[in-house]
Amino acid sequence: MTSHKTGTREEWLAARLDLLEAEKALTRRTDDVAWQRQELPWVSIGKQYRFDTDEGSASLADLFQGRSQLLVDHFMVGPDFQVGHTKQDWDAGAVEYNFRVSDLRPAAGEEGSWNVWAEATVSTDWETYRREAPGISAFALEDGVVYHTYSAYARGLDAVWGMYQWLDRAPLGRNETGLWWRRHDEYDSD
């Protein structure tokens, strides 16, 4: 027996038209937020980042390769943009992530269960897993100067992780319990 609401085609259509109005309002609000993102002040990047590429070592400016803007994942810029955390920050219980300072360590007595989960899910312990968190940063190049223009973390990434948008439209939504993703370099080789 089904546990969700059922109805007639007419009831579905009426509910769908109500939802369509909400979706249109959300789209307009999303456009407003996109404009706010673009209006954030740009911050000049003074640090000379170096990256290993297929063509050899490259600077952040080199990565633009004729483009005026660049979006990078957190692995490229790490701790400078609040996604990679040092052991000292972790041990102090004060990591900066998603624009706030948090203690990401499990509560006393819960370490074992979190380590079991992390080992089964991503083949490492909880601390190692959480010391690199998801995030993206956007940069612009103007007159030879690289600027940091935007960063997003945690649920702020849902819109750029396309699969979430598909799942949010599925009958059971994301149907998830707890964390479930694995980084591409930690998959089994088979």
d(CA 163, CA 181): 12
pLDDT, one tens digit for every residue, the chain (190 residues): 668 899 999 999 999 999 999 999 999 999 999 999 999 999 999 888 887 788 888 888 888 888 888 777 765 557 777 888 888 988 999 888 888 898 988 888 888 888 888 888 888 888 888 888 888 888 899 998 989 999 998 888 888 877 778 788 877 777 766 555 544 555 555 4
Yes or no: say if 74 and 134 are a contact pair by the CB < 8 Å rule: yes
Question: Which position has the token pair 């979190």?
Answer: 114
Asked if residue 106 lies in contact with residue 32, where contact means CB atoms within 8 angstroms, the answer is no
Alpha-carbon dihedral sign for residues 22, 27, 30, 31: negative
- Other Cβ atoms within 10 Å of 54 Cβ, number: 5
Q: Quick one: pLDDT at residue 76?
A: 54
Tell me if residue 78 falls in helix, strand or coil: helix
Looking at residue 169, what is its pLDDT? 80
Question: Which strand (E) or helix (H) includes residue 10?
Answer: helix 9-38
Domain map (residue ranges) of the chain: 9-39
pLDDT of residue 74: 62
Q: Which of 160, 151, 131 is nearest to 45 (CA)?
A: 151
pLDDT value at residue 189: 53
Residue 53, strand partner residues:
56
Q: What is the pLDDT of residue 168?
A: 81
**pLDDT score at 190:** 46
Quote the pLDDT of residue 156.
86
